[in-house]
Amino acid sequence: SYVLTQPPSVSVAPGQTARITCGGNNIGSKSVHWYQQKPGQAPVLVVYDDSDRPSGIPERFSGSNSGNTATLTISRVEAGDEADYYCQVWDSSSDLFYVFGTGTKVTVL
Amino acid sequence: QVQLQESGPGLVKPSQTLSLTCTVSGGSISSGGYYWSWIRQHPGKGLEWIGYIYYSGSTYYNPSLKSRVTISVDTSKNQFSLKLSSVTAADTAVYYCARVCRGSSSDDYFDYWGQGTLVTVSS
């Protein structure tokens, strides 16, 4: 089945930019969606269709997708952005339709 | 605003059947256009998709769980349910229900989630 690989952790100082990658074979041909999960809470959709934001999600969250890597970018990082982030794709070519990435813990220094 | 809420026992004995219900408010399951899904997360681990159902009753399951999973829908109560049989300690996880939304490229994502419920499998 399709595999999505994320770095286990990313550390960033407040006010700086965090970039979280999601690697997959020709992932650029798929739509990538991103979720934020804070401790003890359910995941929240922060980016869908590579780069669109649901209503209520700050413009600081943006996404891109090309080749074998998709990226979630968090600009002007705040303490409240500290969370786990997961990428997700829909893989119609396999029996497992919905594939999640391994997750990245973002730590705000 | 669509809201989902899981309910069910927090403790299940090994070999028994785990049963959870998701109640949807702020929108009707029977209006169509969306699939309704179950996802789980083992303690300290990532997300695993379990399966989904359409209001018509059409289902699709994760192949690794297919032999043990049944998802059903009750449109009169605006609920859908999960049954996972023959559970073991490996099924201990937080179980989420979520709405599946189809994106602009016909790729699906999960736009609304329940708060999740921890189910522990133990004697």
Percent of chain A with pLDDT over 90: 91
CA distances to A23, A86, B39, B58, B95 from B98, rounded to whole Å, are: 25, 15, 7, 16, 10
pLDDT given at position A69: 98
> Rounded mean pLDDT of chain B?
95
- The pLDDT tens digits of the residues spanning B107-117 come to 899 999 999 99
Closest-approach residue (CA) in chain B for A30: B107
* Cβ-nearest to A90 among B64, B96, B108: B108
A48–B62 CB contact, under 8 Å? no
Work out how many CB contacts closer than 8 A connect A with B.
67
- For an interface test with A, the pick among B45, B67, B107 (most A C-beta atoms closer than 10 Å) comes out as B107
Structure-token pair, residue B31: 């209006």
- The pLDDT tens digits of the residues spanning B9-27 come to 999 999 999 999 999 999 9
pLDDT given at position A83: 98
The answer to whether the CB of A34 falls within 8 A of the CB of A86 is yes
In angstroms, what separates the C-alpha of B42 from chain A's closest C-alpha? 13
A30–B107 CB contact, under 8 Å? yes
- The pLDDT tens digits of the residues spanning B81-106 come to 999 999 999 999 999 999 999 877 77
**Which residue, B58, B59, B57, B37, is CA-closest to B48?**
B37
- The pLDDT tens digits of the residues spanning A35-79 come to 999 999 999 999 999 999 999 999 999 999 999 999 999 999 999
CA–CA gap between residue B95 and residue B82 (Å, rounded): 10
**Which residue, A16, A7, A4, A37, is CA-closest to A109?**
A16
Considering only CB atoms, which chain A residues are within 8 Å of B54? none
Considering only CB atoms, which chain A residues are within 8 Å of B116? 42
> Rounded mean pLDDT of chain A?
95
pLDDT given at position A34: 98
Please state whether B72 falls in left (phi above 0), alpha (psi between -120 and 50) or beta: beta
Please state whether A76 falls in left (phi above 0), alpha (psi between -120 and 50) or beta: left
Considering only CB atoms, which chain B residues are within 8 Å of A89? 107
CA–CA gap between residue B57 and residue A56 (Å, rounded): 32
B103–A35 CB contact, under 8 Å? no
* Cα torsion angle, A78, A80, A82, A86, sign: negative
